[in-house]
A and B are shown apart, each in its own frame.
Chain A
Amino acid sequence: MRGWWLRVLRLLRWRASEREIDEELRFHVEMEAQNYQRRGMGRREARRRALVALGGQDRWRERTRAARGTAWIEEALRDVRFALRGMARAPGFAVAVIATIALGVGATTAIYSVVDQVALSPLPFPEAEELVSVWVRNPTQGIDRGMTSWPNFVDWRESATTLEGIATVVPAPLTLTGAGEPERVVGASVSRGFFELIGAPLALGRTFRDDEVEGDFASVVVLSHEFFTRRFGADPSIVGQTIELDDATFEVVGVTEPGRRYPRDADLWIPQAFGTTLVWREPRGRLWLSVIGRLAQDVEISVAQQEMDAIAARLEVEYPVNRSVGITLQPLRETIVGNVRTPLLLLLGAVAVVLLIVVVNVANLLLARATTRSREVAARLALGAGRGQVIRQLLAHSAVLGLIGGLLGAALASAGVGGLVSAAPADLPRLDEVRVDGLVFGVALATALGASIVFGLVPALHATRVDPGSSLRAGARGASSAGLSRLRAAFVGGQFALAFVLLVGAGLLIRSFLNLRATDPGFDPDGVLSVSLSLPPGRYPDAEARSAFHGALLEDLASLPGVDAVGTISALLLSDLPRAGTVTIESRPDQLESGAEIPVISDAVSPGLFSTAGMDIVAGRGLEGSDGPDDPSVAVVNETFARVYLEGLDPVGERYTWGKPYGEGTRWFTIVGVVGDARRSGPDAPVRPAVFQPLAQSPRADVEVLVRTTADPLSLALGVRAAINAVDRDLPVSHVRTLAQATGDLLAQRRFVSWLLGVFALAAMVLAAVGIFGVMAYVVGRRTREIGIRVALGANRPRVLTGILGEGMLQAGSGLVVGTLASLALARVVRSQVFGLSSTDPTTFVAASALLLLVAALACMVPARRAASVDAVVALREE
C-alpha cells in the first residue's frame, strides 16, 4: 500500500523528484570536496577528486531512479520517445504502417457499425425476438410470403394459442391537410391490440379503445413521437385536438415513445375500420392484410409454426378458397432486413478480408524493418544495452505505430459512418439509427494493436538473437534466417490470395450490376419527369369528381411548353405490395379452380401513358380517349398476362373479369391490345402479369403523372407543379423526380454494395502491391553484394532483372492459385447476387488474375531495376 502511494506521489512530482536527486547529489559532492579540503587540498582539486570519487553520474542517477519504483513508467516514456525518433528516421515505413492500420481499423469499424445496426441488432421493441410476421404462402401460385384476408385473420386470431397477440398492419398513405403546407405522411391502419403487441407504450394519451377499432370508422389517430416532434414541436397539448387527414377530421388520442415505430417510418396510426355491416362482407379471397404476431412466453417459433400449420390445414378444408394456402411464421427482424442480409454479410466478409490483409501487411513491414535494423540492434547490444531493453524498445515502437494508426482509424471510422449513411440507398432499413459502435471500434483497435505488437515481437526476438560480433561485420548483413523470409513470402502469397478473392467478388457484382443496368426495362425512362399525387376522398368522393380532375389536369399538362407527351398510371414502378387480384378468362372459366393462377397487377392509365413511358403495343391497339366511362370496359394486357392466361389464344377480343363471374351483372373487360413487358420492379425481378384499364373507366385517387420532354425533365418540374395546383390549390405533390432516377434507385442498393466491394478490392490490391514491393525491395537490398558478384562475374543485367521479377511473380502467382481455389469454393455465397453470368465466370477470374499479376509486376519492377543497376565495384566495396 505504502509503496504504491509513494509511487503515485512520486510520479505526480516527477520533475520535483528529479530536482531532489540532483540536489542530493550536489550536496554529496560538496561535502566530499570539503572533506578533501580539510585534508589540505586546494579547492578546485578537492572538487575534482570528489567528482572522480562519485563515478559515472548517469549510472548513479539511473540506479537511484530504479530504486524508487517508478522506473517502469519513466522507461516507457523514454521508449516512446525513442520510438518516435525511430519513426522520424524512417518516415516512409512509419507512414505505411500507420496508414495501413488506420485504413483497416477505420473501414472495419465504419462498415461493421452499419452492418451491425441494419442486419444484426435487435429491433427497438421489448422482447423483439418474440415478434413474428405471419404470412400466407401458396406454393401453387408461387407465393412465399403473402397477405391474408380479414376472415382468415379472424380465424387465426381465435385459434392460435401459441401466439400471445396477433394484429393486422396495413400501410395507409395519407395527406395531412388543414393548417400549413399539405404533407404526405406515412400512416398505418392497425387492428385491435397492435400497440400492446409490439410493445410500444405511449408517451402521452391513450391507444385505441376496442370500440374504435375493427368496426365503424372512428376518427382517432396516434402519432409517432418523431412526427409529433417534427410537425407539432412536441407540444403535448396536441393530444385531444384534431388534425385533418385526407380532408377528414381526426382526434389525436396519443403519442408513442420515441423510436418505437412499426412500420419503419410510420408517422401515425389509425384504427383498422370496416363499418359494422361491411366487416361481414369482407371476402375470404381478398388478400390485403399483413399480419404480425408475438409468440407466447417460452414458445419456440417452430412450435408456433406447427400450430399454424394445423390451423391452415383446417381452414383449407373448411373454405375452398384456401386451397393450398399455408401459413408461414418469420422472425420480424428477418422480415425487415431479410433482403439486405446477404449483401451486408458479404460486405462484412470483405471487411474481415481487408483487415486480415492489413494485419499481414503490418507484419511484413515490421519484419522487413526489424531485419534492416538488426545492425543497429547489434551495435546497441555491443554497447551494453540489455536484451530485455532492446526488445522493449522494439515493442514500444510497434505499439506506438499501432496506437497512432488506431486513433487515426477512429477518426476515419466516424467520418466513414457519416459517409456510408449518406451514400447508402435510402431504403436500407434502420439506417437512421447507425452510430459508430464503441465495442466494434475497441475490437478493431485491439486487433490492430495486437497485430503490431505480436508481429513487433517476432522480429524483436529475432533481432536480439543476433550475435553482435557477426552482425557488426558488414558482410553478414543482418543475419537473416531462411525461416523468416519464407514466412514473408507466404504472407505475400496470402495477401494476393485474399486480394484475388475480393477482386473476383467485386468483379462479379459489378458485372452483374452492369448487366442489370443494360437490361431493357421495357420502357424508356430517359426524358421523363414523374410526380405523384393523391386525391383526398373528402374532396373527391366519387368517380365523377376524380375523372373531372384527371381530365382537367391532362389537358393543362399537354399544353405546357416543352411537353411532348403526358400520361398517368397508378404507379409505373411497383412497390412491394402493388394492387393485384385474380382474374377469370371468359373462355376458360375453369382456370381459377385449378388454383394455378398468378395474381394480376391492376393499373388504370390515361390514353397517353404507353407513348409517354415508351411502352410498345405489340398486338391490337392501345387505350384511346374514346374509351370513356360509358363505353364498354376495355383493357390492354402485358405479354406475360397473354402468355400465362391466354396461352394458345389470340388475346385481342378475349374477355376477363376480376375474381369469379357472378352471372348477369358481371363486368367483363375486353382485351383490345397487348403491350410489351415492362420490368417495373427492377431488372432483376420477374415480370408479373398486368392489365391496364382506361383511367376514365376506373378513375383512381392515387396517380403517378409522367411527362415526356426533349429538354431536361427536371426543368419542367415547376411548370408541372403549377399546372397541378392550378387545378387544385391544396393538392400536395410528392416524389418529383426523373423516371431515369427512379429506375436507377431500384438498383441503388446493388450499386452501393458493388461500389463498396470494389473499393475494398482496390484497397486489397494496393495493400498487396505494397506488401510485395516491401518484400522484393528488402530481398534486393540484402542481396546487393551477391548480385554485385554475379555482375562482376559476367551475369548480364536482363538476367538479373528477370530473376528478381520471377521471384516476385512466383510469390504472387502461388497466391493467385490459392485465391482461385478459395473463390471457387466461395462462389455459392455470392450466387444469389450474381445476375447474367455464372458465379464462377471465367472472364472475371482471368481478368482478376491478369490485373493482379500486372500490379505485382509493376510493384516488383522498381526493386528489380535497382538490382539490375547494381554497380559491381560499388557493391563490393561497400562490404
Chain B
Amino acid sequence: MMKRWMACSVLTGLVTASCGSDNPHGPPPRLVEPGAERLAQLTSPAAGTPKATDAPDAGAPTRVLEDPFALTSEAEFEAFRLECGALQPKEVPVLDPIAIGTVFRGKKPVTLPAIPNDGIYRWMEGNPEFIDPNKVAESAGTAVVSNLFETLLVAAPGNSPPEPGAAERFETSPDGKTFTFHLRKNLVWTDGKPTTAHDFVYSWTRALDPATGSKNAQQLWIIEGAKEYNEGKTRSADKVGVKAVDDHTLVVTLVGPAPYFPDLLAYVAFAPVPRWAIEKHGEQWTRPANIVTNGPFKLSKWLERDRFELTKNETYWDAANVKLKGSVIYVSDSEAQNLILYQSGQTHTAFPLAPDTIQNAISQSRSDLRIDHNACVYYYVLRMDKGPLKDVRLRRALNMSLDKKKLTQHVLGAFQTPATNLVPLMFQGFMGYAPIEGDSYDPDLAKQLLQAAGYPGGKGLPPLDIIYNTFEGHKRIAEFASRNWQEALGATVTAANMEWKSLLKQQLAGDFQISRSAWCADYPDPLNFLEVFHSSSENNYSAYKNPAYDAMLDRARKEPDAWKRRVILCAAEKGLLKDTPFVPMYHYTRSILLRPEVKGHLPQFQDHHLLKWISIE
C-alpha cells in the first residue's frame, strides 16, 4: 500500500500523471490547467512533451548495488541510473510549473469581503528587521527586498528556472566554473545613476567583507576566493572571483562547477547595492528617505513593525510589463492576525495559517485555499556517536516502526507527504532528480532489527529522549512519535520541550539522543540537502561521519556532467539512508488563502513570489 502510494505521490509532479481515487492520503490532487501559451509550448515538438520516463525500462537489466558509495565504472553508473530513476540530461521533463507545485485546491466558491480594486496588492509577512540586501537572510526580509532590488537573474513565476533580470544573457565556460554575464544597457537606479557591473562587484565584496558581518556571506562562498576573504584569511578583496570587465560585463569564477548557480543568483544576496548611498548614509541607507534601488518597485513607506508600502518603479527597464501599481505588506507575526486581515478584506492573501484554519478550509473545500509542495523536510536527528543509537539496527528499527502515513493524516492533516528519504520529492519535477525510497513502514521488520540489536521486544533498551523547541506543532509530533515507538517497539520514550536557543545549544553540544530538526532548500538542488550530513557540516547534529559519503559529495561538487552528477547524488542519498543517521518524518506543504482576482501567484518551492509577475484582475 505504502509503496503504491509513494509511486503515486511522486507522479503528482507530472502533468501526465493521475493518481487513483484510492489515494489514502486524501482526495487526489487537483492539477491546475496550464494556460494556452504554456499548453502550446508543451505540445510543440521542439520543446519535447513530458514523458513518463521516471520509471526504469522494464526490459533493462536491474542490478542492486550493495554499496551505493562504490560507484566507479560506466556500467555501474548505468545500473545505478536505472535504479535511481535518474533521467538522461535530454530527458528532463518539461513540466508545467503550476502543476508541479499544487497538492490541493478547493472547489466551492466563497464570498469574500470587498477589497479596494486599485491595482495595489496587499499581503502580509513576518517582521523584516532590516532590508539591506547584503544582510537579509530570513524569509520575511527576502520577500520584501527581492521586489526592491534586482539580481542578474530573477526568480521566475512558479517553479520555472530563473529568468533574465539585470543580465540580458550569460555564458558558461566548458568546465562549468566561469560565468560571464552581459548586463542590459538601459539599467538605472531610482536616483537616475546607471546600474553597472561595478555595482555588483561592490555589493558582493561588501557582503563578504568580514566587517559587514553578513549572515548571507556563506551563500557567496561558492565564488573563488570568497571564503578566504570572508574568513579574514586574505585581507584584500582582489582575490575574490568577481570582476567587472567593463560597465556591462561581469565575470564570475566559481570554486567548482555548480549547475545550481543560476538559481542561487536569483537570491537577494546577489543583488547590487548603491555604493554612494551607503557611503553617505551608513547604516541608515535603507531608510525610505535614503534608499536607492534598482528593482521593479521602490520603497515609499516603512512603518516599523507595521507595514511596508511599495510603489511601481517607472524607470525600471521592464516597467511596461509590471502590472501592479504598488503593494502594501502588513507586518504580522501571528496566524490569527493573518486570518483576521484576510477576513476583514485588508489583504488579498493569508499566509501562514493555523493548522485548524487549514483543516477547516479543506473540509469546506474553499476555492480560495491552495496547498502547495514545499522543498522542506522535517526529521528527527539521531545522535549516533554514543549510547544505544550507535547501532544502525536500532536506528533503522526506529525509522521503520514510525507510521508516518498516520502522522501526516491524523496529526498534521494538510496533505504533507510522509517521508522515507531526505530530498523532497518535488525535485523530480524540475530537475529530474528521482526521489529515493528509503526504508518504508514495516513494524515487523523493525521488531526483528530490534531483536538483532539485542533488545528483543524492547527489553533492555535504555529509555530514549526526544527534545524539541516549545511549539504546539512539534509537541503533537513528539507525542505521536513517542507513543508510536512505545507501542511498536516497547521502547520507553520521553519527549521534552525546551526553549529555542537552549535546544540549539544542546544540539550543538551533541547532548541529546533524538532531536527535532528540519531543512529547507536554499536553492533547488539535492546537494543542498545532502550536504547537511557531510562530516564538515555545521548542521550535522547526528555526528554522522562517513568518509565514503563525504567523498561522494565532494565528487558531485566537481562533476561537470549533469546526469552523472545526479546519479552520484542519488547514490549518496541511498547510502545515507542505509546508515539512517536521522528519521525522516514528512515533506512540507504550504497552505495559503488567496483571492481569486490575484493572478500570477504560482506555487514556488521556496515560496518566492515576485510582485513583478503578480496582477489583479
Do A and B interact? no
A contacts, CB < 8 Å to B: none
B contacts, CB < 8 Å to A: none
